[in-house]
Amino acid sequence: MDDSSTPGRSRPAQQAHCNSCSLSTLCLPVSLDLTDIDRLDTIISKSSPLKKGDQLFDQGQPFGSIFAIRAGSVKTYSVTADGDEQITGFYFPGELIGLSGMDSGQYPNAAQVLETTTVCDIPFARLDDLAGELPELRRQIMRTMSREIRDDQQMLLLLSKKTAEQRLATFLIRLSERFRIRGYSRTRFRLSMSRNEIANYLGLAIETVSRLFTRFQKGGLIQVEGKEIDILDLQQLYLQSGECPSLRQAP
Amino acid sequence: MDDSSTPGRSRPAQQAHCNSCSLSTLCLPVSLDLTDIDRLDTIISKSSPLKKGDQLFDQGQPFGSIFAIRAGSVKTYSVTADGDEQITGFYFPGELIGLSGMDSGQYPNAAQVLETTTVCDIPFARLDDLAGELPELRRQIMRTMSREIRDDQQMLLLLSKKTAEQRLATFLIRLSERFRIRGYSRTRFRLSMSRNEIANYLGLAIETVSRLFTRFQKGGLIQVEGKEIDILDLQQLYLQSGECPSLRQAP
DNA sequence: CGCATGTTTGACGATACTCAATGTGTGTGG
DNA sequence: CCACACACATTGAGTATCGTCAAACATGCG
């Protein structure tokens, strides 16, 4: 079996088709016209399905491509000097990964697949060329990076100021919103990451996360069964989260 | 006295001159040729000196410009639902602020001046136009955003995994490096932010920061006198910080 | 079916926070 | 120029939240 750590090589790369992709309103093609999307298509290749645990890229690996998720989910993480990892984000269909590698020429973090996942491989050199010709593409890339900065800073606030309870409530609410935007239920979904990964991401011990799930369930806020979660009282969860309502997007 | 919350308006804006600016190797003009820098100059205006406490922009304010620091220092912070603030970064000469406002059309955080500071006001719409014509400028903007993402993610790691001691050591080391790059001493410098701001940034209580300064001093690592700091044992401080040596830039 | 991995629950303890008082600097006005 | 006020900083004592350790329990895969 061939090495699937460099997606798109394990089998001959397939060309992607943004035009027919249901994610085009969330992903890079936003606000491109059909002609421009076709040009984007020519540089993008779709990976064969990656399976849980496959690396999209490793920390320190030379930066070459950014990746758009077509289906599945991915985590990014940095590794510290003493070997333990810090998860910096979870990514879902339509989202872009790898942009933080642009500056230094190598990925400053690693990306690993959480479940069976397919991605679009977008060679950065070619994307950059295209960005020079298509102003809307350029803007969309920048907007994506801008959003990433904003989201990371929101996480700084969470890690610095919020209690364990608020962190988990915030986490669930943000997931809920992201699923909603993608057309899924905002109250019933599957957590593709493990408790350990949730804990790591939220800066908590796994035991704390486990206890909180139990407490939220006893309080009637949620119903959990393994990775399946059902949010029973989104309103109450929102109050627990300490989130600022003004930052919500208009429906 | 006129409102200086919108710098560049309090007095007639002066044109900036990147060509003669000593920061051009750190700032936006990196890798632009002289002709291109001249074009950049035409859209940039230099602010009159801002004084401690002045706002560069407020959270939620419509996004219009990004700012480059010429002299002084600035903090950015987000405000939570219940009113307390989280500092998301400190910025020094040659660094760019405000890029996170691109996506949503309003600044998701606020920026406040820590000491007497002058900045360059760069209207984003015009910068964006210029980015369409100058590929190197486009790349530099993207690299800047990429670096911001990387730095924020480093902070996530710090807040999530490091002890109070490691956080402060890391903070001092990173400052040291940034001063070195700017041609200042890497062992003696002035902290333009208060203890409170350091504590806030590092996700600690002010008392903890104060105790750590004392402990570091007793341990012979540093010498503090108010805002003046002298790093006596950079090596040891580095060991305390738990930072990964591989991430250091080549000298 | 059994091992491995992941999750839950409990008891205990440490790190860092809160509260409170004292100490130090800085700017203002007499 | 000094005294006062105010913000900022330091130091101490007590405590709470969350992490660590440990064991039982569930889940899933070969």
Q: Cβ B80–A146 below 8 Å, yes or no?
A: no
Residue A4 domain-assigned (yes or no): no
- The CATH number for A33's domain is 2.60.120.10
- The CATH number for A232's domain is 1.10.10.10
**Nearest protein residue to the C1' atom of D19, measured from CA:** A205
- Let me know whether A195 and A131 are in one domain: no
- Let me know whether B144 and B172 are in one domain: no
Is B136's pLDDT higher than 90? yes
Q: Is the CB of A217 under 7 A from strand C?
A: no
Is A18's pLDDT higher than 60? yes
Of B156, B176, B210, which residue is a domain's last? B156
Q: Cβ A153–B81 below 8 Å, yes or no?
A: no
Distance A7 CA to C17 C1' (A): 47
% chain A with pLDDT above 90: 85
Q: Cβ B149–A242 below 8 Å, yes or no?
A: no
Residues 6 or more apart whose Cβ sits within 8 Å of residue B186: B176, B177, B179, B180, B231, B234
- Let me know whether A74 and A196 are in one domain: no
% chain A with pLDDT above 70: 92
Residue A232 domain-assigned (yes or no): yes
Closest-CA distance of chain A to residue B151, Å:
9
User: Which chain A residues contact residue B141 at CB under 8 A?
Assistant: 142
> A145 or A244: whose pLDDT is higher?
A145
Q: Is the CB of A194 under 7 A from strand C?
A: yes
Residue A219 domain-assigned (yes or no): yes
CB nearest B143 (choices: A81, A102, A141): A102
Closest-CA distance of chain B to residue A198, Å:
12
Is A5's pLDDT higher than 50? no
Q: Is the CB of B164 under 7 A from strand D?
A: no
Closest-CA distance of chain A to residue B12, Å:
30
Nearest CA in chain B to A103: B143
Of B156, B185, B211, which residue is a domain's last? B156
CA distances from A19 to A204, B103, B229 (A): 42, 23, 58
Half-sphere exposure of A168 (CA within 13 A, CB side): 26
How far apart are alpha carbons A59 and B150 in whole angstroms?
Answer: 12
Residue B48 — pLDDT band, cuts 50, 70, 90? confident
Is A2's pLDDT higher than 90? no
How far apart are alpha carbons A176 and A190 in whole angstroms?
Answer: 10
- Let me know whether B172 and B140 are in one domain: no
- Let me know whether B24 and B58 are in one domain: yes
User: Which chain B residues contact residue A244 at CB under 8 A?
Assistant: 79-81
Residue B2 domain-assigned (yes or no): no
Distance B227 CA to C28 C1' (A): 22
- Let me know whether B80 and B124 are in one domain: yes
Q: Can you give the pLDDT at residue A251?
A: 37
Average pLDDT of span A141-168:
97
Q: Can you give the pLDDT at residue A244?
A: 75
Strand C footprint nucleotides (protein C-beta < 7 Å): 6-11, 15-20, 25-26
Domain extent, residue A203, equals: 163-247
Q: Can you give the pLDDT at residue B148?
A: 98
Produce one character per residue of B179-216: b if its CB has 16 or more CB atoms within 10 Å, e if not: beebeeebbebebbbeeebbbbbbbbeeebbeebbeeb
Q: Is the CB of B194 under 7 A from strand D?
A: yes
Nearest CA in chain B to A155: B156
Residue with tokens 């109250």: A187
Q: Can you give the pLDDT at residue A122?
A: 97
Q: Can you give the pLDDT at residue A177?
A: 96
Half-sphere exposure of A159 (CA within 13 A, CB side): 32
Residue B28 domain-assigned (yes or no): yes
Distance B193 CA to D7 C1' (A): 14
Between chain A and chain B, the number of residue pairs with CB atoms below 8 A apart is 138
User: Which chain B residues contact residue A154 at CB under 8 A?
Assistant: 78
Strand D footprint nucleotides (protein C-beta < 7 Å): 8-13, 17-22, 27-28
B32, amino acid identity: L
Is A168's pLDDT higher than 80? yes
Distance A193 CA to D26 C1' (A): 17
Residue B4 domain-assigned (yes or no): no
Please count the other Cβ atoms lying within 10 Å of the Cβ belonging to residue A55: 18
Distance A165 CA to C16 C1' (A): 18
Average pLDDT of span A102-116:
95
Q: Which H or E element spans position A155?
A: helix A135-161
Residue A238 domain-assigned (yes or no): yes
Q: Cβ A154–B78 below 8 Å, yes or no?
A: yes
User: pLDDT per residue over A183-206, tens digit each?
Assistant: 999 999 999 999 999 999 999 999
Residue A210 domain-assigned (yes or no): yes
Distance A237 CA to C11 C1' (A): 29
- Let me know whether A125 and A223 are in one domain: no
- Let me know whether B136 and B88 are in one domain: yes
Q: Cβ B88–A139 below 8 Å, yes or no?
A: no
A49, amino acid identity: P
- Let me know whether A27 and A144 are in one domain: yes
Q: How many domains does chain A contain in total?
A: 2
B214, amino acid identity: T
Average pLDDT of span B132-155:
97
- Let me know whether A135 and A80 are in one domain: yes
User: Which chain A residues contact residue B101 at CB under 8 A?
Assistant: 146
Is B246's pLDDT higher than 80? no
- Let me know whether A59 and A82 are in one domain: yes
Q: Is the CB of B209 under 7 A from strand D?
A: yes
- Let me know whether A178 and A130 are in one domain: no
Q: From residues 186-205 of B, which are strand C contacts by CB within 7 A? A: 203-205
User: pLDDT per residue over A25-48, tens digit each?
Assistant: 999 999 999 999 999 999 999 988
User: Which chain B residues contact residue A152 at CB under 8 A?
Assistant: 149, 152-153, 156
Of A141, A156, A171, which residue is a domain's last? A156
Q: Can you give the pLDDT at residue A154?
A: 96
Q: Can you give the pLDDT at residue B41?
A: 94
